[in-house]
């Protein structure tokens, strides 16, 4: 399962073949009712798929790094309802594995939020940004959407901004004087704001200079986050830009590649591919050493949850059976 702010996606693999489902996303495990949110999102994405209890559930989820205190409760709930073995990690880890597999490098996962995971050949990992839309997520879809809406309101105010973005925002949201109320009373303001990133992309492709600059700023911010991972581990690591925002294409990819320098990789697969790969690794008994430091594996022992335990990974990877406790995924 891949669980982000914008949506949840599951892929069920078994003897009957592969089925996929999707549903709404969540604010994140770090939200006050994070465990309940995650469980509801899983049920929503599984709806209609006729998937019963599974052997292994691998889940990459937003807010994982900020919510270490809630991981154990989530693992126990998942073991009770869904699977015999649960692998938990941040959505940036599933994005990493989907994008570049078990190769050392830096993967920037840019969607509604933005976070980067770096991993070197010795099993060391670092996470940068992912601080959420109010304090970080620099260069994210939220940041692009917010900058676009600000430019729309600035133009309306006669404080500069962009006429093209004011038109686009009015088309999408109606008379702009009502926009703050709509945004501040939305169930998920960050998603509403991030939804405007596609309009900013269209305006940029149509030649609007303010919109182009917003994308250039986003690329520079994402490159800065990637470079911080490199600097903490190994300046020679290759970098890959992945996640939903990367789908905007050259508008983001070109200035990102120019700003980040060094080797830039193309993402080979999605975060859902990464979650599947991690589930298969957990099933086979060993999680790749490159990201093992970011992963918790918990399994039910006997009939109850008393023995719910987790293996901690390290430089030699992560052997699944008989682990100790939940709580991995350090920044």
Which residues lie near its own copies (CB under 8 A)? 27-28, 30-32, 63, 65-68, 128-129, 131-132, 134-136, 146, 149-150, 153, 157-160, 177-181, 183-185, 189, 193, 224-225, 228, 231-232, 331
Number of neighbours of residue 235 by Cβ within 10 angstroms: 10
Radius of gyration of the chain (CA): 20
CB count within 10 Å of CB 330 equals 11
Q: What's the CA gap between 256 and 172, in Å, rounded?
A: 28
Q: How far is the CB of 81 from its own copies (least distance, A)?
A: 24
Q: Which is nearer to its own copies, 232 or 286 (CB)?
A: 232
Cα 92-94-96 angle, rounded to 5 deg: 65
In the complex with its own copies, the residue whose CB is nearer, 193 or 267, is 193
In the complex, minimum distance from the CB of residue 55 to its own copies, in angstroms, rounded to a whole number = 31
Between residues 11 and 155, which has the closer beta carbon with respect to its own copies? 155
Place of tokens 């918990």: 298
Residue (54 or 183) nearer to its own copies, CB: 183
Q: How far apart are CA 127 and CA 91, in angstroms?
A: 11
Which residues, including other chains, have CB under 8 Å from residue 3's CB and lie 6 or more apart? 9, 25, 26, 38, 41, 42, 59, 60, 61, 62, 91
Least separation, in Å, of the C-beta of 311 and its own copies?
Answer: 22
Q: Quote the CA–CA distance of 29 and 274 in Å, as a whole number.
A: 19
Work out how close the CB of 135 gets to its own copies at its nearest, in angstroms, rounded to a whole number: 5
Task: Provide the 10 A C-beta neighbour count for residue 160.
Answer: 9
Least Å from the CB of residue 61 to its own copies: 14
Instruction: Select 60 or 317, whichever has its Cβ closest to its own copies.
Output: 60
C-alpha neighbours within 13 Å on the C-beta side of residue 238: 13
Please say which residue, 10 or 237, places its beta carbon nearer to its own copies. 237
Taking the complex as a whole, the smallest distance from the CB of residue 71 to its own copies amounts, in Å, to 12
Task: CB nearer to its own copies: give 23 or 132.
Answer: 132
Nearest to 266 by CA among 93, 101, 91: 101
**DSSP H helical ranges for the chain:** 34-46, 71-81, 91-100, 141-157, 163-173, 179-184, 189-194, 197-205, 209-233, 250-260, 271-284
Closest approach of its own copies to the CB of residue 331, in Å: 6
């Amino acid at each position: 399962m891949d669980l982000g702010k914008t949506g949840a996606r599951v892929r069920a693999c078994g003897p009957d073949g592969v089925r996929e489902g999707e549903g709404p996303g969540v604010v994140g495990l770090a939200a006050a009712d994070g465990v309940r949110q995650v469980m509801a999102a899983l049920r929503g994405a599984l709806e209609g798929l006729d998937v019963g209890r599974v052997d292994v559930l691998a889940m990459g989820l937003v807010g994982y790094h900020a919510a270490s205190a809630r991981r154990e409760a989530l693992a126990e709930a998942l073991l009770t309802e869904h699977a015999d073995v649960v692998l938990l990690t941040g959505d940036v880890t599933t994005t990493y594995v989907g994008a570049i597999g078990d190769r050392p490098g830096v993967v920037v996962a840019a969607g509604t939020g933005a976070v980067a995971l770096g991993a070197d050949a010795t099993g060391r990992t670092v996470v940068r940004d992912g601080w959420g839309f109010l304090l970080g997520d620099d260069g994210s879809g939220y940041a692009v959407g917010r900058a676009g809406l600000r430019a729309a309101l600035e133009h309306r105010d006669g404080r500069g901004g962009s006429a093209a973005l004011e038109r686009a925002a009015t088309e999408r949201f109606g008379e702009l004087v009502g926009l703050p109320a709509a945004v501040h009373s939305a169930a998920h303001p960050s998603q509403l704001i991030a939804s405007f990133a596609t309009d900013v992309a269209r305006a940029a492709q149509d030649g609007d200079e303010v919109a182009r600059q917003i994308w250039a700023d986003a690329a520079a911010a994402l490159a800065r986050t990637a470079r911080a991972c490199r600097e903490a581990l190994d300046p020679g690591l290759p970098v890959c830009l992945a996640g939903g925002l990367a789908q905007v294409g050259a508008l983001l990819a070109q200035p990102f590649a120019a700003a980040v320098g060094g080797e830039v990789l193309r993402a080979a697969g999605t975060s859902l591919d990464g979650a599947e790969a991690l589930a298969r690794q957990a099933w086979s008994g060993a999680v790749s050493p490159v990201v093992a430091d970011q992963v918790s594996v918990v399994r039910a022992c006997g009939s109850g949850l008393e023995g719910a335990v987790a293996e901690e990974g390290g430089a030699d990877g992560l052997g699944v059976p008989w682990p100790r406790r939940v709580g991995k995924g350090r920044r």
